[in-house]
Structure 1
């Protein structure tokens, strides 16, 4: 099962984990009161307070978790991470760092500024990393288990399309793009000056880019530049920030360079095709139906994990 909604928002606070390392847990337990033990892993009042602050920040202050609700969420997070470890599906430190970079980029700020905002809200960076770790693990676990089981009938899609027909006028036309990725690579441990110079080179190449056929071949001949064909993707398949950049980019042009983990990335728009509103609406309906069914399966999955766990609430 693909979490299309997660990808489309690939948005600021949309992906990751809550599980502490054993040493960190012990250190916190010494200074805090243990509120629960889940398969030998402790949850303290410090952890609960951190989760409450994180939830308020991620929801923009719209959602507040009570201490009991926060404890139950943390128990589920522990179980999810144990399951990921048992199935060898925990994300790497690099994946977590990339998730933080994506959050910062989608919020239109650098990582340092993002971390500062969390710190000012009383949320440790390790708490954020733990939360991201759980989210990424659980996404992969659910997809691995239920991907082939989530099925949406055409009749269901047709019925919901009819129900939403009145809203059709508010839906943007879907666009299919022919895309190629161009990455200006920065060397490991490059200085700030070297990175800035690389950004200047990427911007210069973007300004000169006028033909996918000719200029992509020229890019392949440049030093430390990677060119990768993405192929055809529609706006319904892409996170909204990227979809907007592509809409705003003319054919045979590059999107502005953005910093990624290993350099500065641009995307060449080598073709555009208008798919109309119906394609957008159908994808939205199908995604909504799949998400509803997925949530039922996720609840069943976590119930099974709880049934076999040893949970001691204090």
Structure 2
């Protein structure tokens, strides 16, 4: 069967937020083929007054198979479809249904992810035995549930100014810290397609052990020796554009592959907490890059290790670079938002005068010996308050969605065949 490329990572990324966990659970949990003893339109599951037929199970299975979504156990599949019916019942009582124009936009977005037009997307599914109604119902359910959750809980989900301040590290009571694992995969123009495919596959793994194993096998960062695990980081020390992405993760979630200048990065959330002291804000970061020819060859990595022992501060690099071309040593002072994302990610992990040898340039032919010189404190905001407020709101709407669904399950009468 032909698979549509690009959808596995799309589904994993949390399409149609703020109910990403609901959608992800739905698309990753599917059903074993219908038994021959059952009629296509006989009930497979009864959920209160509603039923799920074997035909619907077969249609959804075909749908997800064409999208290339991974399968799941029968127990997980049945639970996902039970949840689907419970959501429909609540929305029916509330008089909420998806706008046809919004459903079409959802189909357009879905199709575009596979670089297809909507007609091509629907025809490809039809050729695989999936009806247009199945696709439209699937997308309409997600849109309706999103609208329902937002309408019911938005006033409770919006963060206060103090909560935004805490997330930004601007409150006297402290700021947020995150515990992450990382995978940094070097890339060249020649290896880009293979690295992108590998990164998409890693983004779909489940559990800390699987991500740790991938970090040990594929990551070029120094953290690969302990499964990619980083220490606690202040949220405000991460690149400004990355902060809302990280803040939107739940424990165990993995980011979509993040493109850097010469690498692809993935991060897994292992924990989040509020620190006892306020996280600092910085107006300027001073750092140095000493460029070593040879990329990540054993000889160059060995020289970088020796250099690490020879220098105590960034100023020591001037003596090392003496009589060499000016481009060998770069000394840069920039605002956090102006620092390239790959460099900013590495600097976030470093204390003053510490070194990273993860990055390369010149298509992997040059190793970048990166050293943090100084950080200049500032109380200005580098991350948009609107971004942080939106991320906090989405997290809370997801929590409300999951809590309501759990309550609906507890109150429902469910009969499985």
TM-score, normalised via structure 2 length: 0.39
Other-structure match for 1:291 = 394
Q: How is 1:163-178 mapped onto 2 (pairs within 5 angstroms)?
A: 163-168=234-239
Provide the rounded CA distance (Å) in 1 between the counterparts of 2:132 and 2:167. Answer: 43
SS in 2 for 1:99: helix
Of 106, 113, 124, the residue aligned with 1:117 is: 124
| Cα distance per residue 1:128-170 (max 9 Å; x no partner) | 1111121011001100111000133121342238723443176
Other-structure match for 1:208 = none
Q: Is the 8 A contact 1:91 1:137 kept in 2?
A: yes
Other-structure match for 2:72 = 65
Q: 1:57 to 1:124 in 2, by over 3 A?
A: same
Provide the rounded CA distance (Å) in 2 between the counterparts of 1:117 and 1:277. Answer: 47
Other-structure match for 2:56 = 47
Where structure 2 has 5 or more consecutive residues not aligned to the other structure, the ranges are 1-13, 28-37, 170-174, 178-232, 244-379
Moved over 6 A (4+): none
Shift of 1:57: 4.5
Q: 1:157 to 1:49 in 2, by over 3 A?
A: farther
Q: Is the 8 A contact 2:125 2:131 kept in 1?
A: yes
What's the C-alpha RMSD, in Å, of the aligned pairs?
3.7
Q: Is the 8 A contact 2:16 2:142 kept in 1?
A: no
Other-structure match for 1:150 = 157
Provide the rounded CA distance (Å) in 2 between the counterparts of 1:309 and 1:171. Answer: 41
Q: Does 1:90 align with 2:161?
A: no
Q: 1:43 to 1:140 in 2, by over 3 A?
A: same
Q: 1:138 to 1:89 in 2, by over 3 A?
A: same
Structure number with higher helix proportion: 1
Q: Is the 8 A contact 2:107 2:118 kept in 1?
A: yes
Q: Does 1:305 align with 2:376?
A: no
Q: Is the 8 A contact 1:53 1:122 kept in 2?
A: yes
Other-structure match for 1:160 = 176
Q: Name the count of aligned residue pairs.
A: 190
Q: Is the 8 A contact 1:52 1:66 kept in 2?
A: no
Other-structure match for 1:257 = none
Shift of 1:47: 2.3
